[in-house]
Structure 1
């Protein structure tokens, strides 16, 4: 595939064609990210309407994020067998069905079935094709950075604006209408996707590692459930975490045995032989853990402790939305001036400072707007680093390995999202007062420092992969 001229569309096509291709892909990332954060401002409304608890709603949110993380690697592998566009459309259909079921849910169990399960499965099917197609259709580093900038900008805005949009809809109509909105957006994406063409043919004879998929999902589920159980039973938490770790070790042994026997595993161990990609995955995990963790903690604190309604909470989150949108849309100009390493480090530094500002101002002021400076800085920081961290990972491998690395990349990111909600939420739900609020945010800031350390180890300049890495 020939390199794409900077600023041109896929395969050198005009900008108008590029926009037609990117529109459904970026909107798909938007709605999936929106689904992960808009529930945060509906906690009180859902709790009252379905006669449940804050912890019950937190569990539904975490299970949605966990379902995405657990199934993202299998979802990425299925794109090779059935084709990227076919999986994209199948994922949108399942996601839309889940949104409709959630809107009609009479109780928490049905809400979990529609939101946590169906929307989670749909997301795991449709998100890997978004990143694979973007990588395959935009082949040089500059045009790919611009394309990923658009996708990540919409994804970041979805995560940051979810509380505002969800708050407006919930206050004006009701929380169920927020799911109707998601179903409507999915219908628009399906209509726009007619412009998307899959550059590679499907491989229907390619084998799928079902055993590896089960082990992967089971291990991740057990680890996150262990964290969720931390405030109820210490022995149960320890047991689930140990069991989850053992299952993940079993998964690695399973994958290695498959490779040695010449059979295709769920993912190749050689994916972890690239140091740059490994560091990029660590930064992605930390970014989404902080973003979703902060979103849940601040939204729950404002509603449960300060007594703000959905729309008031959403308006306060506008600061994060504006910051993230501004820095994400500047991705192309930023990557031309600065290395991806420098941008990721700057993003982590800004986000950690924003979290510290949240803690300082919230403890010293009763104003509703005390959270906005910190949220603005967090939005700016996340927007600066989201695009380059994705580009670092995707560009480390050639096109024949995009299915594997895209699934792994999205799984790592969504595991960060679920852990962010689980870890911070578990600390906060115990007693969402000022003390636990500061501890939860402080924990997120500490994780951000770890992400900053990983970013500092990235190479200053990255060689773009044009061939597959050697198999293990």
Structure 2
């Protein structure tokens, strides 16, 4: 595809290609959050518990996280568009299987496994192709802005859309909707998306590295989920995860020194700016998914709200995120990316604090709205600059790897958010619900402080535009 750009704006051909990319990110983010408002309906229909649905949600997010890096590497070997299409097909099959699931086990296979695998295959090509096709600095920033905004809106609006569908039809209809949208994306991508670089079928794939990274991350998230069962089990799993991930990084270094293909090049961690950007990405999605699960479970289990009522409460987050996302392009031309990310964390943490101060067991539901709106405003403002500074820190030859790493880190944040906040909440939901809600939100706010510190450490010279591919990243 000829990436022609006129006056800083992409050609009509590129704008059309952006539509399936943005829709793909929207539906994957939607899938990660819409189940939060179906907790009561799904648990009753499938004969399981709130914790069972939490596990299904977390496994879905975890599968995405552990397979995103291998998914990014496979694009170099099999082609970006081919992986994109294959991921969409697998995702669609998983959505249809979830729609007819008779129990939790089949739901986990369809939603958690197949949809997770499909997402891991289709999302890296979205970011790789966007970086390769939109070569002009301004057009690439707009493209990332549109994709990130729809991703954030999908996650924030997931509870509202899912709530309406569940109340009007059934929770199963939500998965049918996902399959239909995926089918539309497949048709649009066949017409409008072309891969500008040929695949390299001879390129080797590091199977051992993929296994080590997956097992290490699996132990970490499983350890967090085990916190309410046994502190010893949690500690053992976290230690095992740390040891496996250490083994993974040691093996990556050894393979690179020996001139062999490694799953993840350690040069990706050579940019301080990119490393800090990855931390901010991780924490942003942790806060979004942690807040979504905590508030949704609290409203349904403690306050007795149905799916649509819970979704309506989350309209505050959706509106806030939409407003700041629409203003993101104007902000990017007036403020440095570091400034936007720092401000985003300050606003988001302020939203968490507002929710903790205003909400109590007897307070009306509107007291949740100011905090949720602030959380949406803060997250919407900083999602795009965080992605842009990471992707633009490396040249074309590294886009497959950095895209996979970036998406893996973001989805790991989502799975950690659902696991961390969800575990704290579920552990005391039936005994001390108000205290459990407060502790879960405190954990989300504490994670936000970590993200704020990382944002403050970003170089001050990280100005309004991100560097173009092939240009050096800003000095740390």
- 1:360 paired with 2:360, answer no
Given candidates 234, 237, 252, the residue that maps to 1:237 is: 234
Show the 5 A alignment for 1:30-429.
Answer: 30-193=26-189, 194-363=191-360, 366-429=363-426
Contact 1:6 1:143 in 2 (8 A): no
Q: Counterpart of 1:371 in 2: which secondary structure? A: helix
Q: Distance in 1 between matches of 2:125 and 2:331?
A: 26
Q: Distance in 1 between matches of 2:395 and 2:96?
A: 38
Contact 1:400 1:468 in 2 (8 A): no
Deviations 1:5-60 (A, max 9, x none): 55421xxx2xx323311100000000000000000000000110011110010000
Q: Distance in 2 between matches of 1:345 and 1:404?
A: 27
Contact 2:3 2:14 in 1 (8 A): no
Q: Counterpart of 2:366 in 1: which secondary structure? A: coil
Deviations 1:104-135 (A, max 9, x none): 10000000000000000000000001111111
**Distance change >3 Å, CA 41–CA 364, structure 1 → 2:** closer
Q: Distance in 2 between matches of 1:2 and 1:43?
A: 45
Q: Distance in 1 between matches of 2:469 and 2:31?
A: 35
Contact 1:6 1:142 in 2 (8 A): no
Higher alpha-carbon deviation: 434-443 or 359-368? 359-368
Q: Counterpart of 1:203 in 2: which secondary structure? A: coil
Contact 1:340 1:460 in 2 (8 A): no
Q: Distance in 2 between matches of 1:153 and 1:59?
A: 27
Cα deviation for residue 365 of structure 1 reads: 5.1
Contact 1:401 1:468 in 2 (8 A): no
**Distance change >3 Å, CA 469–CA 339, structure 1 → 2:** closer
**Distance change >3 Å, CA 269–CA 469, structure 1 → 2:** farther
Q: Distance in 1 between matches of 2:161 and 2:69?
A: 30
Cα deviation for residue 364 of structure 1 reads: 7.0
Higher alpha-carbon deviation: 330-339 or 416-425? 330-339
Cα deviation for residue 416 of structure 1 reads: 0.4
Task: Count how many residue pairs are aligned between Structure 1 and Structure 2.
Answer: 465
The runs of 5 or more residues in structure 2 that have no matched partner are: none
Deviations 1:288-340 (A, max 9, x none): 00000000000000000000000000001011111111111222111111111
Instruction: Report what 2:455 is aligned to.
Output: 455
Q: Counterpart of 1:370 in 2: which secondary structure? A: helix
Q: Distance in 2 between matches of 1:5 and 1:211?
A: 45
Cα deviation for residue 239 of structure 1 reads: 1.0
Deviations 1:318-377 (A, max 9, x none): 111111111112221111111110110011011000011111111275212221111111
Instruction: Report what 2:9 is aligned to.
Output: 8
- 1:466 paired with 2:466, answer no
Q: Distance in 1 between matches of 2:179 and 2:263?
A: 31
The runs of 5 or more residues in structure 1 that have no matched partner are: none
Contact 1:5 1:140 in 2 (8 A): no
Cα deviation for residue 468 of structure 1 reads: 8.6
Cα deviation for residue 400 of structure 1 reads: 1.1
Q: Counterpart of 1:369 in 2: which secondary structure? A: helix
Higher alpha-carbon deviation: 354-363 or 134-143? 134-143
